[in-house]
């Protein structure tokens, strides 16, 4: 998920305490030379479980040209979710699930934000001004939505529809990562679980996570699902009441292949028992509306159809 707050720090500082391993970059920018590969789908099994990695890569497509920032900045947390794709890939294998990866940098357009909002194509992110995102014309914004937002969401919608045509209710699992330091503050959580309303998956997963005594677990931290879930889970899962969960993993924990493997194993161990419960695969009969503030956003999400 994006860190929305502004950091007064210098624009060109290196990523804090994060060495991006080859493993963490696997399946990301260098592996996606053509636009057709910007949305990657991995089918590791037939289970009705869909993993979503919105911020898998930091590709800036050729048609966009230069964003006007250094590669160091592009590879910071502002450009993508460091380590999230690598964990998602291992988790897909473990769970025999389908996984979708969006490899376009969220600085081009953030697929987890409603189009035409301030954070959709951010003019500034964590104190770093993005020159190419200043004063974009409506036509330029439309092109980014058409070329780099809709293809991912259409792919997600198609996978969901394919399961439902077979009479299956799929479970959606969103995987994000977050920076360990923001606004001069350390963020102590190793793993965060975001939830709102539907706790069928979040409840048992949090219970198991809390049993990990050496980890600090964020229950709706560092972001609260009660307040804002972003576009993807809101649109594809909460609006239609599909079972779902959203993870936030601290990026410095994913800096090595061993770290990635550890967290993929941990999430797999927490998810497996809950996913083995047949009653999970059903439409939630409560509601997922935010308790405050975000009702308008939730309703608005229904007006943007990725299938349109």
**């290196």: which residue's tokens?**
14
CB nearer to Zn ion: give 55 or 187.
55
Cα–Cα distance, 103 to 111 (Å, whole number): 10
CB nearer to Zn ion: give 1 or 78.
1
CB nearer to Zn ion: give 1 or 128.
1
**DSSP string for residues in 175-213:** EEEE-SEETTEE---SEEEE-SS--TTHHHHHHHHHT-T
CB nearer to Zn ion: give 176 or 190.
176
Shortest spacing between CB 77 and Zn ion, in angstroms = 9
CB nearer to Zn ion: give 84 or 284.
84
- What CA–CA distances, in Å, run from 22 to 91, 254, 274, 285? 18, 12, 32, 43
**Residue least distant from Zn ion (Cβ):** 176
Shortest spacing between CB 54 and Zn ion, in angstroms = 5
User: Among the residues of the chain, which ranges form H helices?
Assistant: 22-25, 71-74, 84-95, 138-144, 150-165, 202-210, 231-233, 257-275, 295-301
**Strand-pair partners of 41:** 100
Which of 122, 119, 13, 136 shows the shortest CA–CA distance to 75?
13
Shortest spacing between CB 296 and Zn ion, in angstroms = 22
Shortest spacing between CB 1 and Zn ion, in angstroms = 4
Shortest spacing between CB 168 and Zn ion, in angstroms = 27
Which positions lie near Zn ion, rule CB under 5 A? 1, 55, 81, 176
């Amino acid at each position: 998920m994006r860190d929305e707050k502004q950091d007064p720090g210098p624009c060109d500082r290196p990523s804090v305490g994060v060495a991006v391993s080859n493993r963490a970059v696997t399946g990301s920018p260098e592996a996606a030379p053509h636009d057709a590969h910007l949305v990657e789908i991995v089918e590791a099994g037939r289970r009705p479980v869909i993993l979503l990695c919105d911020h898998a890569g930091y590709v800036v497509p050729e048609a966009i040209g230069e964003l006007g920032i250094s590669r160091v900045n592009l590879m910071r947390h502002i450009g993508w979710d460091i380590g999230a794709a690598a964990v998602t890939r291992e988790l897909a294998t473990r769970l025999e699930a389908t996984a979708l990866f969006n490899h376009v940098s969220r600085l081009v357009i953030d697929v987890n934000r409603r189009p035409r909002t301030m954070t959709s194509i951010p003019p500034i992110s964590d104190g770093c001004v993005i020159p190419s995102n200043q004063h974009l014309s409506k036509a330029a914004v439309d092109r980014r939505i058409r070329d780099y937002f809709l293809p991912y969401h259409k792919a997600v919608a198609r996978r969901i529809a394919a399961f439902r045509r077979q009479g299956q209710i799929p479970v959606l699992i969103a995987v994000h990562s977050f920076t360990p330091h923001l606004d001069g503050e350390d963020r102590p959580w190793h793993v965060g679980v975001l939830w709102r309303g539907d706790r069928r998956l979040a409840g048992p997963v949090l219970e198991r996570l809390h049993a990990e005594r050496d980890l600090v677990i964020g229950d709706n931290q560092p972001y609260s699902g009660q307040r804002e879930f972003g576009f993807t889970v809101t649109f594809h899962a909460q609006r239609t009441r599909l079972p779902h969960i959203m993870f936030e993993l601290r990026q410095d924990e994913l800096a090595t292949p061993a770290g990635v493997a550890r967290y993929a194993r941990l999430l797999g161990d927490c998810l497996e028992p809950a996913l083995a419960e047949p009653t999970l695969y059903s439409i939630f009969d409560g509601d997922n509306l935010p308790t405050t503030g975000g009702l308008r956003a939730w309703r608005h999400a229904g007006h943007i159809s990725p299938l349109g």
